[in-house]
Amino acid sequence: MVHLKSERDIEQLRASADLVGRTLGVVAAHVAPGVTTRELDRLAEEFIRDNGAQPAFKGYRVGSLVFPATLCTSVNDQVVHGIPNDVPLEEGDILSADCGVVLDGWYGDSAYTFAVGSVSDETRALLTTTYESLMLGIAQATAGKRLGDIGAAVQAHCEARGYGVVKDLVGHGIGRQLHEDPQVPNFGRPGSGRKLMSGLTMCIEPMINRGTASVRTEGDGWTVKTSDSLPSAHYEHMIVVRPSEAEILTTFRHIEEALDVLPYEQTPIAAYGQAEAH
């Protein structure tokens, strides 16, 4: 069942989304060669709890599996759901850090893929294309459009550049639960699927592989990796469907300030919509 949110609900979600963005900003300030993902996880958990919230992922259950950490930290060919560990990050790695919080009963969720030190041009192109596909998908998330319009925009942009679009994993609705209806695939046909309505809150999160779209799950039951061991990138925003332009609730601004990089978000959503229309 899809739960449309009131403006009061959206205010609560906006606060949770802001905390996720600020937490990832703390993480960003410490991503570097030699740092372990367990250290990053500790920093994220301390920051979330210091701000009166709880980690959304720690203790999350799927059947008999219980996720043990605050962040999902997925390195290189790990697509999503990597478990933080004591292996130091290395120059040239990429790290997807996915963070969730619960603040006053409302969930926030966002992800960003970091370059660890200097990365190859090939890897940088993967990151850029994945981010662009996220924004192209968001540009389609307006009232009257359909879920297939979001997935089709992501898929077309990435496959045209030779990348694999992961089909086994999807985005999701969000609110008082971390995962609500509807599921939000990163592939599809324009004009297909559920019609989008104002007040729908969801997470759009392209997971894009440099090679094959095929993935496999490791023995820990959580970590998803590419089948060909080539790297994967992952970005995620929480959004609200609106009549003329989606509202992005999460932000990468704190990350970009910590990294002192040119903001991706300098380009307005509308520009992506116009680019796709052409």
The model's pTM is 0.95
Spans of the chain, pLDDT less than 70: 261-278
Q: Which long-range contacts (CB under 8 A, 24 or more apart) does 63-71 make?
A: 65/221, 65/222, 67/222, 69/41, 70/41, 70/44, 70/45, 70/99, 71/27, 71/37, 71/40, 71/41, 71/44, 71/97, 71/98, 71/99
7-277: CATH superfamily: Creatinase/methionine aminopeptidase superfamily (3.90.230.10)
Q: What is the DSSP string of 31-51?
A: --TT-BHHHHHHHHHHHHHHT
Give the single-character DSSP code of 265. Answer: G
Spatial CB neighbours of 193, under 8 Å, sequence gap ≥ 6: 146, 147, 148, 149, 151
